[in-house]
Amino acid sequence: MLCLSVLALACSMGSQNQPSETKPSMPAIIPRPVELELQSGTFSIKDSTAILIQSRDPQAKAVGEYLASWLRQRTGFKLPVRKLTNNADSKGHFLLATAGRHLEGGNEAYHLTISPERVGVFAPRAKGLFYAVQTIRQLLPPELESARAAAVAKTKKPLHLPCLRITDNPRYRWRGLLLDCGRHFMSKEFIKRTIDLLAYHKMNVLHWHLTEDQGWRIEIKKYPKLTELGAWRKATRDSEQPRENGLYGGFYSQDDIKEIVAYAKSRFIEVIPEIEMPGHSGGALAAYPELSCTGGPFEVSTRWGVHKDVYCAGDDKTFEFLQDVLTEVIELFPAPFIHIGGDECPKDRWKACEKCQARIKAEGLANEHELQSYFIRRIEKFLSSKGRRLIGWDEILEGGLAPQATVQSWRGLKGAVAAAKAGHDVISSPTSHCYLDYPHSKDDPGYPNWMGVTSLEQIYSFEPTPSELSPEQAKHILGAECNMWTEHAPQDLVDKQVFPRLCALAEVTWSPQKARDWKDFSARMKTHYRRLKSLGVTYYRPPPPPPRAKQP
Ligand code: ACM
Ligand code: ZN
């Protein structure tokens, strides 16, 4: 049975991957490259093919090894990776070069030339070489993405790449996905797979939401109760029976985090940790209730929504705790940004808290909104002293923005406009276009009524840069991010929410605005769905139409 299916796979790949005399069809690359000129002929990847490196960038060799390993698994060829010693010997091989080339489009650009003689990739940096490799994968049959393809390797059949020239670079420097591991813990393997899928779509930011009312997920050595108590709740949610052992959750050890961050680096992805404050802090407060206004006690929450118990802004203990936590976080995450949340912080407890009121008085603040602003400014000062930049949700605009803060605009793009006009950097993530917890279609069952629909076409139509910004202000829009909140999607359901919508955001953030073409994207997606299937992605498919009523 297995042999037969492997044979069938080999045949199906073989038939699509022959050198062809007929006019080659336009490759269905997602995200669409800036310029693609298809030519006639093919380059054959054979047992004699090598991967030659010409670069001083230490990561270039690693990219060569990454390409070699991917191809070896699918061909059984040796594909040695070696330094180019002289220009003459690149015939018949891949040449990955960063040396001596200047390309427009910044550090992520690449130039790919495939001729019958060689595959040449030129890029300012190894990152561009890596993106060219993702493009090369998409020039091969979709079925090759399957892990089963490894079994076909024994056939040792050449693979054929179409001859072409591609010049490519991203529109935005920030192309992200938020993954909420607070509502549901997800395995280390799942996070690595997510990183691979982001890289495949030339995305470069994993925004890792690590702390929530429903769970604290990151080991902090100085505060062990955060993960002993704060990482576990009694049941998945309050409407369900408690677990037999009374525990649901999990956390990432500092070693797990180092492993994931290193893995992400090898895929040119920055991991931005989010440590929520002052709200969404129930996981921490269950472990250390003395950091709240009332003193608790609290349980790790089993219900969704906004919670009233938050860190006390009047008590210096809160800041001491958060600075200690951030000190360990900074050690683990090399990215220049740390996300501190800042969203959905009800002011009820602060209004009734003597310490918070005393702080308002002592600091000459007008109200609790200014107290939130005080909170964020104080944390920003600390992060700046450690050489890091603060990002927060657009609520951090209320009561006055911290001087260097970057704003992630989620309640529409009003926050994006206000922040960019005030000279602050922005990430655009409005609910209307970027919320992947929302249904794909109004016909999808099982979603709360308040959620809007975020269809594939809606995301594809997204413009991250608001039109009211001047060209100078528009430079503050770093890019966009789609948000995978997981109240209604534990790990097993994440694929269905994220895909294929991530493919649309990848194109929105990578490809030139003028190249946006829904019909063309939809046509390319037909091929891309086959790739996703081969990658084992359980993407969303519209529910079948209801059966027609019988004719009387
Ligand atoms: C958010 O959705 N609360 C940022
Ligand atoms: Zn207080």
State the DSSP string of 402-455. -TT-EEEE-STTHHHHHHHHTT--EEE--HHHHBTTS-SSTT-SS--TTPPP--
**Paired strand residues for 406:** 391
Q: What is the pLDDT of residue 470?
A: 98
Q: What is the pLDDT of residue 89?
A: 84
Atom of ligand 1 nearest to the CA of 431: 2
User: In whole angstroms, what is the distance from residue 38 CA to residue 191 CA?
Assistant: 36
User: In whole angstroms, what is the distance from residue 453 CA to residue 202 CA?
Assistant: 25
User: Which ligand number lies closest to the CA of residue 279?
Assistant: 1
Which of 398, 407, 409, 410 for mutating ligand 1's site (highest number of atoms within 8 Å of CB)? 410
Residue reference for tokens 């027609």: 548
- The torsion angle over the Cα atoms of residues 399, 322, 209 and 268, rounded to 10 degrees, is 100
- Centre of ligand 2 to C-alpha 370, Å, is 14
Atom 2 (ligand 1) nearest CA: 410
Q: What is the pLDDT of residue 42?
A: 97
Domain 174-510, CATH 3.30.70.1230 — does that match?
A: no
- Centre of ligand 1 to C-alpha 207, Å, is 13
User: Which ligand number lies closest to the CA of residue 316?
Assistant: 2
User: Which ligand number lies closest to the CA of residue 294?
Assistant: 2
By the 8 A CB rule, do 501 and 541 touch?
A: no
Q: What is the pLDDT of residue 22?
A: 56
| Token pair for 319 | 């800041």
Q: What is the pLDDT of residue 149?
A: 72
Give the pLDDT confidence of 156-193 residue by residue, as tens digits: 889 999 999 999 999 999 999 999 999 999 999 999 99
Which of 344, 431, 433, 486 for mutating ligand 1's site (highest number of atoms within 8 Å of CB)? 344
By the 8 A CB rule, do 314 and 354 touch?
A: yes
Q: Fold for domain 2-16+23-168? A: Chitobiase; domain 2 (3.30.379)
Which stretches of the chain drop beneath a pLDDT of 50? Answer: 1-16
Q: Is 393 in the pocket of ligand 1 (CB under 6 A)?
A: yes
| Token pair for 503 | 């493919």
- Centre of ligand 1 to C-alpha 431, Å, is 9
Cβ-proximal residues to 502 (8 Å cutoff; 6+ apart), any chain: 177, 197, 198, 201, 203, 436, 482
By the 8 A CB rule, do 274 and 183 touch?
A: no
By the 8 A CB rule, do 113 and 165 touch?
A: yes
In the chain, what are the domain boundaries? 2-16+23-168, 174-510
CA-closest candidate to residue 175, choices 208, 206, 152:
206
Rg (CA), the chain: 25
Statement: the pTM of the whole predicted model exceeds 0.75 = yes
- Centre of ligand 1 to C-alpha 343, Å, is 6
Residue reference for tokens 């003193």: 295
Q: What is the pLDDT of residue 80?
A: 97
Which of 178, 211, 429, 485 for mutating ligand 1's site (highest number of atoms within 8 Å of CB)? 485
Q: What is the pLDDT of residue 17?
A: 65
